[in-house]
Amino acid sequence: MKVAVLGAGDLGRDFAQVAAGAGHAVRLHDSDANTVMDAIDDVERRLRDAVDAGDLTHTDREETLDHIDATTGLDAAVTEAEFVLETAAVDANALQERFAELEEHVDRDAIVATTAEGVSITAAAAGLRHPDRAIGVRLVDPLETPVVEIVVADQTVGTTLERVESLVDSLDRVAAVVRDHPGVVSTRLALITEVEAMRVLEDGVAAVPDVDDAVALRYDLPMGPLERADRAGLDRRLAVLEYLADRLGERFEPPQVLYDLVDGGHTGAESGTGFYEWENGEPGASALPDPEIVERVAGPDDPAR
């Protein structure tokens, strides 16, 4: 399948790598030339590391790279594409405008999809002449997690769903089909974990890395909830939580620590600081002060004696 991935951020480059590795012809687009070239360099580095670790053959690495092209031209990216995945638009108005723009460039049979979490796919599809082609594809850590949520809008037809299920299967992932509902499944569960982790910080219970270790090691996860929030972008997390709190209730109310970080420009990995200090795409020391834990020199007296 010919695949266009719009947006060369972490999510876009991850999906491009997975799709190209499965043999699909991928065009990775971003309006900024430096961003899209950095994305290709990042994919090349990760594939080289995989070869060095013995997880990938040199031939597979070369074939994956041969299946990825980078471009800054939207028309060049989506012309002849059968599946277009928008990863950059994160609010309803921007997504609806993007879908309508794409329809001017793609064939009638092309599927237009979005990874946006806090947006109604049904509302975004309303701006299309052919809304039956619209669908949501929620990717949760696509390089590591085998599940992909397929979000079916009210207008999505069966053939669109079947084609996307076939695409997900070709990526060696499992498709979980869900209704177009605020937050759907994985997003709601992930955000509840992140919100509670932030509240633990606010209560002074434990330091940032200790909270993450407690969750990641207990449940055998690749990272803890605070690192995951940093990687996703704290400004994006805040926007999604506000959206869900408005529709689903106070359990999704953003904690004050999240407001404080975003207001200060500390939006996570992208800005270099969030819950962690970030360098070269990896978390370092905690960016927040550790809670004060009193170390006693001697135990208290036993009043029974």
pLDDT of residue 93: 86
- DSSP-derived 3-state class of residue 172: coil
212-226 burial, b at 16+ Cβ within 10 Å, e below that, comes to bebbbeeeebebbbb
pLDDT of residue 27: 97
pLDDT of residue 187: 79
Element (H, E) at 134: strand 134-139
Answer yes or no: same fold for 2-179 and 186-286. no
The tens place of each residue's pLDDT in the chain, 305 residues long, gives 999 999 998 889 999 999 999 999 999 999 999 999 999 999 999 999 999 999 999 999 999 999 999 999 999 999 999 999 999 887 788 899 999 999 999 999 999 999 987 788 999 999 899 999 999 998 877 777 788 999 999 999 999 999 999 999 999 999 999 999 876 777 788 899 999 999 999 999 999 999 999 999 999 888 999 999 999 899 989 988 998 898 889 999 999 999 999 999 999 998 999 999 999 889 999 999 998 776 667 666 666 65
Tokens coding 9: 């951020």
β-pairing verdict for 134-139 and 147-152: antiparallel
Residue with tokens 């012309």: 79
Q: What is 186-286's CATH number, 3.10.105.10, 3.20.20.70, 1.10.1040.50, 3.30.465.10?
A: 1.10.1040.50
pLDDT of residue 191: 92
Can you give the residue ranges of every domain in the chain? 2-179, 186-286
pLDDT of residue 146: 84
pLDDT of residue 161: 97
**φ and ψ of 69, to 5 deg:** -115, 150
Give residue-wise pLDDT tens across range 87-108.
988 778 889 999 999 999 999 9
Threshold 0.85, pTM exceeds: no
Residue with tokens 């709190």: 245
pLDDT of residue 305: 59
- Rounded Cα distance between 28 and 72, Å, is 8
* CA distances in angstroms from 256 to 16, 202, 260, listed in the order given: 35, 8, 6
Q: What is 2-179's CATH number, 3.30.70.270, 3.30.70.2970, 3.20.20.70, 3.40.50.720?
A: 3.40.50.720
